[in-house]
């Protein structure tokens, strides 16, 4: 099968403004996740819903977002990134408004699912535009650093803003806050994103797209259930098995398709497969640890939601400054492989230091571990992105974006499922009649084993990074050719 044909596009004016719009698209996704998370207890009280129901306010969003990334990334390559991006932005904005008006929990969950589809369309195409906007090398590394810094700052801001908005105006305000941002971004994108060259217009692999979308949705659904009700539950095992069948079917379809959604040659190329495996592992560590520490600070140490969000400021600020301005310098000097080796080692050590937690423990005992963990993550995520998209050919921007973003999105529920299942398995109550203190002791004991498991996952990422090979592609525009953006 022929590879994607080279394309050239006119020079893009307003490169910096377009980069700001790309950041805005990611920023809405990140801030939405953090502000909704902090508002969940208030939503529970408003709709008088049990945990098993209201956790789908976040779960429905995560499932559709992860499930549609591959399809929308390839649709951008086929029909044009600009077109998919603008439609996704409109869907996200409208569904945010609908969520704020939701009269019932079911309608809110439906709006959140629609938000996830819109977010999949915007984030995957924004990343594809980013890939084409910045060529491989120091310039892309610097841009990745800025993107990482802003997004980490957005997550912190979202947690604090979400808590404040919920306290003052109620939970519906955290849905409405996306609307003005979405409208403003949509208006500017209409004006600034160039029409340029449309997609390659090759036939979209509908059977492959259907199989991978269903398979990914079932996988994230199963993992979400596993985090709440356990890995052995029927609601976990059945969708997990169906997901495996769908994803294996996807691979069979791709080997026979004339225009596959994901050419297997792409996955085998250079560092792509290893980098995506590292993305899965590192994100699973971040997802599981972040959840455990939030529960520990609030339910064990007794901090309020806003108080707990303030406790993440020191590691968050470290992530912001190092990820935003230091990571690119480390990448340019050491390369992606050595940077990821350092990153995974720091994350493993930092997570191991968090096992010092206790029922009557102090935040300051855990702060060093949080800082080491955040330092490793801050330099690791830009590096794994660089490695995953290294050598992307013209016409593969959406494909590369879809694959790596799916790895990141699936990694979070994997981490939650693994670490919370481990915590539950080792959550043993002391002998005698259980009381509040003994229950807390059992929870913390389970958390310590889960954190040790997280440290082992960091070691797995280190071993994977040892296998990483940097790619120096033989394609791309000449050095003196102006930068272009796929539209």
Average pLDDT, stretch 69-75?
85
Percentage of the chain with pLDDT > 70? Answer: 81
What is the DSSP code (8-state) at residue 354?
G
> Over the Cα atoms of the chain, what is R_g?
22
Mean pLDDT, residues 23-39 taken together: 73
Higher pLDDT, 40 or 464: 464
**Does 474 have pLDDT greater than 60?**
no
For the chain, how are helix, strand and coil distributed in percent, rounded to 5? Answer: 80, 0, 20
How many Cα atoms are found within 13 Å in the side-chain-facing hemisphere of 101?
7
DSSP class of 478 = -
Q: What is the DSSP string of 297-313?
A: IIIIS---HHHHHHHTH
Quote the mean pLDDT of the chain. Answer: 79
Q: Is the pLDDT of residue 443 over 60?
A: yes
pLDDT in tens, 306-351: 777 778 778 878 877 887 677 778 888 888 899 999 999 999 999 9
Tell which wins on pLDDT, 473 or 466.
466
CA angle 212, 55, 186 (to 5 degrees): 65
> Tens digit of pLDDT for each residue in 357-408?
998 888 999 999 999 999 998 888 888 888 887 767 766 777 787 888 888 8
Provide the pLDDT for residue 178.
82
Q: Average of pLDDT values for 3-25? A: 63
First CA to last CA across the chain, in angstroms?
A: 24
Contact 198, 80 (CB under 8 A): yes
User: Is the confidence at residue 245, as pLDDT, over 90?
Assistant: yes
CB 93 within 8 Å of CB 79: no
- Nearest Cα to Cα of residue 312 among 299, 298, 325, 326: 298
């Amino acid at each position: 099968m022929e590879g994607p044909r080279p394309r050239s596009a006119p020079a893009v004016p307003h490169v910096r403004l377009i980069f700001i719009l790309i950041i805005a698209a990611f920023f809405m996704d990140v801030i939405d996740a953090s502000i909704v998370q902090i508002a969940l207890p208030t939503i529970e009280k408003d709709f008088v819903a049990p945990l098993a129901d209201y956790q789908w306010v976040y779960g429905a969003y995560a499932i559709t977002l992860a499930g549609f990334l591959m399809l929308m990334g390839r649709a951008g390559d086929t029909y044009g990134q600009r077109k998919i991006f603008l439609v996704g932005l409109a869907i996200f904005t409208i569904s945010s408004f609908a969520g704020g008006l939701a009269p019932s929990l079911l309608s809110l969950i439906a709006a959140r699912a629609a938000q996830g589809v819109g977010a999949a369309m915007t984030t995957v195409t924004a990343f594809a535009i980013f890939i084409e906007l910045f060529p491989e090398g120091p310039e892309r590394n610097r841009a990745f650093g800025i993107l990482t810094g802003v997004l980490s700052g957005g997550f912190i801001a979202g947690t604090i803003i979400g808590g404040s908005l919920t306290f003052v105006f109620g939970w519906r305000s955290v849905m409405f806050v996306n609307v003005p941002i979405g409208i403003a971004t949509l208006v500017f994108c209409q004006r600034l994103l160039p029409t340029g060259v449309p997609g390659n217009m090759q036939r979209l692999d509908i059977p492959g797209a259907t199989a991978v979308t269903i398979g990914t949705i079932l996988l994230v659904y199963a993992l979400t259930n596993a985090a709440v009700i356990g890995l052995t539950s029927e609601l976990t095992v059945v969708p997990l098995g169906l997901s495996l069948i769908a994803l294996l079917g996807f691979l069979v379809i791709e080997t026979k398709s004339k225009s596959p959604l994901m050419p297997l040659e792409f996955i085998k190329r250079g560092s792509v497969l290893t980098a995506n495996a590292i993305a899965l592992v590192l994100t699973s560590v971040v997802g599981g640890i972040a959840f455990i520490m939030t529960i520990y600070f609030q339910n064990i140490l007794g901090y309020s939601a806003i108080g707990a969000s303030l406790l993440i400021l020191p590691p968050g600020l470290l992530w912001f400054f190092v990820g935003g301005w230091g990571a690119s310098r480390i990448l340019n000097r050491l390369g992606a492989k050595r940077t990821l080796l350092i990153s995974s080692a720091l994350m493993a050590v930092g997570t191991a230091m968090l096992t010092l937690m206790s029922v009557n423990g102090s935040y300051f005992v855990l702060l060093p571990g949080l800082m080491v963990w955040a330092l490793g993550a801050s330099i690791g995520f830009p590096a794994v992105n660089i490695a995953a998209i290294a050598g992307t050919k013209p016409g593969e921007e959406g494909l590369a974006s879809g694959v790596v973003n799916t790895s990141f999105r699936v990694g979070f529920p994997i981490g939650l499922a693994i670490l919370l299942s481990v915590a539950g398995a080792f959550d043993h109550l002391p002998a005698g009649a259980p009381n509040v203190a003994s229950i807390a002791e059992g929870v913390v004991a389970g958390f310590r084993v889960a954190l040790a498991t997280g440290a082992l996952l960091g070691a797995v990422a280190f071993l994977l990074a040892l296998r990483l090979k940097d790619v120096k592609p033989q394609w791309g525009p000449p050095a003196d050719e102006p930068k272009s953006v796929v539209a």
